[in-house]
Amino acid sequence: MVDGDLSSSLSARVSRSHAKIDVLLWDLTDERFGVRHAEGGGYFTPTSEAVVGFASDPVFRNSRLIPFGSDEHFALFQDAASRFAEFLNGLELFSSVLVLGVPHSDRVDVNGVIAVDSVLTGSARLGNAQFGRYLNFLSERLGFALLALPHARVSVDSEHKWGLAPFHYSRKVYGDVLEGVLATGRARQERDRMNMSAPPRLVDRSFAGERRLFTWGTLSDLLDSDELAPGIHTVRIEHGMELDFTISGPLGDNANVPVFFTGAISEAYSRAPVFVGAGIAGELGVPYVSFADPTLYHAPRPLLGWYLGSEFGDLVGSLTSILDHIAEVSGCRFIMCGGSGGGFAALHFASRMNHLRASAFVWNAQTDVLRYGWSSVDSYLASSFPSEYVLHAAHANLDEWRLGLGERSVQSSLLEPGTIAGLRNVLFVQEEADWHVQAHFEPLLRAAVAKRVSPDRWRAPGDVVFVLKSWSGSHTPPSRQILTGALRLFLEGRSATETADGLEGLEW
């Protein structure tokens, strides 16, 4: 390794073997040693092996150390990385690169029990602070795919063969890295990933089964179509992000059509996109539209994404355009439906579709993503905004994240006046024992200036109705009778107030 560094052998090695490379894994760990500038010109890395082997050599003794993290070192790194990117593009290998953005950690795994090691804390924080701008440059500026694991999922191994260090990880971490590597290799084999910087997509394309599968090369291709047939539609947005949605049947003869958004998924789900709503719509005998959240199929895989999108494409704008197009070609109006994180998405898109008078029916919905459980938010941010994530500490300030997401036009809260003003004909039902009451339900009540009209009901302008009931004592949906009953009334064209009235006497 030291000989290769001194002879600058990387380019030659990659050129010789580029046809055999499925994944080019890029780990910046040894950058922490900085570089030494030789007296006669050129640079080399003072790794432990180099120091031991060449400490007495004049080339080493007469060289000048340029410390890692210094502005001089970063400038050299930017220049070298840019030239390396051009070199890889010339070999059509750029899309095979996966840069490791695994954070340094002070969380030590001792036989499955995690404990913070205060001795590692300082070095872990310093390492993350120093590496951040290097990883950000590779991802944000040069467009390399970056695997940024969330801090909450990273730990180091107390029995690691190379000793205890903030970057000597536990087996679970290496398993997550392996999943990303394999997904990158599969993507490379399946299709051209040139100029795609999105994380590897963990999707098994056999998920369609007997349903017709339509693939749209670009969003414009879909929007130029005269009709959208029943089946599963996959549309390429940009930078490798793909959006899947299903249409269950002809929509043209239906004045109101439910649109479903999923909430959290479990680790047990397959790699097929998750579409919800089939059961409820089937009971009612109506066609429906259901969108899968593409951010749930990145590696590392988050379990909740709120349909906010990522740095790799404008999911919200694209999904809104698709809804507009469906309404235009079918003549229908929408009833946005979802619970929990899917409820957030339903309210969000209902507010954006107010020109079509879209209604919404939600239960136990989140209203501020960054006020949700941090482990879920952390996992989502690492997967969807890796180049931003590597710049933040393990326990990032929420205001910093809100500002950063806002600069990317990502709306993480429904409490903004413009969003609330766009809501029309909405029924929001909430389990009173759920912690969401204080964190999400009541803040929206206040922001919407809702007035109490009965002991368990509030009403805001635009016929936005809030109902607080007890049905399970936890964060679970109301009964099937309530779900189908409310949706049936909306399908009949009833208002949110009339729908809430129609639920009286039903079993919650």
Mean pLDDT of 77-96: 95
Question: What pLDDT score does 161 carry?
Answer: 94
β-bridge mates for residue 36, sequence order:
44, 65
Token pair, residue 358, equals 């879209």
pLDDT single digits (tens) 400-432:
899 889 988 999 999 999 999 999 999 999 999
The reply to whether 329 and 428 lie within a common domain is yes
Q: How many CB atoms lie within 10 A of CB 265?
A: 20
The boundaries of the domain holding residue 131 are 2-101+116-147+170-190
The reply to whether 183 and 231 lie within a common domain is no
Number of domains in the chain: 2
pLDDT band at 195 (very low <50, low <70, confident <90, very high): very low
The reply to whether 91 and 234 lie within a common domain is no
Question: What pLDDT score does 236 carry?
Answer: 87
Ranked by mean pLDDT, which of 186-190, 308-312, 360-364, 372-376 comes out on top?
A: 360-364
Mean pLDDT of 273-285: 93
Q: What is the mean pLDDT of the chain?
A: 91
Distance CA 294, CA 57 (A): 54
pLDDT over 70 at 241, yes or no = yes
Going by the DSSP 8-state scheme, the letter that residue 22 receives in this structure is S
pLDDT band at 273 (very low <50, low <70, confident <90, very high): confident
Examine residue 383 and state whether it is found in any structural domain, yes or no: no
Examine residue 311 and state whether it is found in any structural domain, yes or no: yes
pLDDT band at 245 (very low <50, low <70, confident <90, very high): very high
pLDDT band at 60 (very low <50, low <70, confident <90, very high): confident
| Nearest one of 99, 165, 172 to 134, comparing CA atoms | 99
The reply to whether 182 and 270 lie within a common domain is no
| Nearest one of 422, 415, 418, 458 to 439, comparing CA atoms | 415
Residue type at 63 in one-letter notation = S
Domain boundary among 190, 225, 242: 190
Domain boundary among 137, 158, 190: 190
The reply to whether 141 and 233 lie within a common domain is no
Question: What pLDDT score does 193 carry?
Answer: 45
Question: What pLDDT score does 151 carry?
Answer: 93
Token pair, residue 267, equals 């680790």
Distance CA 244, CA 44 (A): 48
Mean pLDDT of 239-250: 86
The reply to whether 141 and 228 lie within a common domain is no
Non-local (6+) Cβ contacts of 68 within 8 A are 31, 32, 33, 34, 130
Question: What pLDDT score does 396 carry?
Answer: 74
Distance CA 247, CA 329 (A): 13
The reply to whether 491 and 425 lie within a common domain is yes
Examine residue 392 and state whether it is found in any structural domain, yes or no: no
Question: What pLDDT score does 206 carry?
Answer: 58
pLDDT over 70 at 24, yes or no = yes
The reply to whether 177 and 295 lie within a common domain is no
Task: Indicate which CATH number applies to the domain containing 452.
Answer: 3.40.50.1820
Examine residue 153 and state whether it is found in any structural domain, yes or no: no
Higher pLDDT, residue 487 or 403: 487
Question: What pLDDT score does 297 carry?
Answer: 81
Examine residue 183 and state whether it is found in any structural domain, yes or no: yes
Question: What pLDDT score does 194 carry?
Answer: 40
Mean pLDDT of 336-357: 94
Domain boundary among 160, 190, 220: 190
The reply to whether 326 and 462 lie within a common domain is yes
The reply to whether 181 and 221 lie within a common domain is no
Examine residue 424 and state whether it is found in any structural domain, yes or no: yes
| Cα–Cα separations (whole angstroms), residue 88 to 143, 177, 193, 353, 498 | 12, 22, 13, 44, 62
pLDDT single digits (tens) 110-135:
988 999 999 999 999 999 999 999 99
Question: What pLDDT score does 454 carry?
Answer: 96
Examine residue 326 and state whether it is found in any structural domain, yes or no: yes
The reply to whether 430 and 465 lie within a common domain is yes
> Could you tell me if 495 and 459 are in contact, meaning their C-beta atoms sit under 8 angstroms apart?
no
The DSSP-derived string for 445-494 is: HHHTT-EEEETTEEEETTTEEEEEE-SSSSS----HHHHHHHHHHHHTT-
Distance CA 138, CA 306 (A): 27
Examine residue 196 and state whether it is found in any structural domain, yes or no: no
Higher pLDDT, residue 204 or 311: 311
pLDDT over 80 at 208, yes or no = no
The reply to whether 228 and 178 lie within a common domain is no
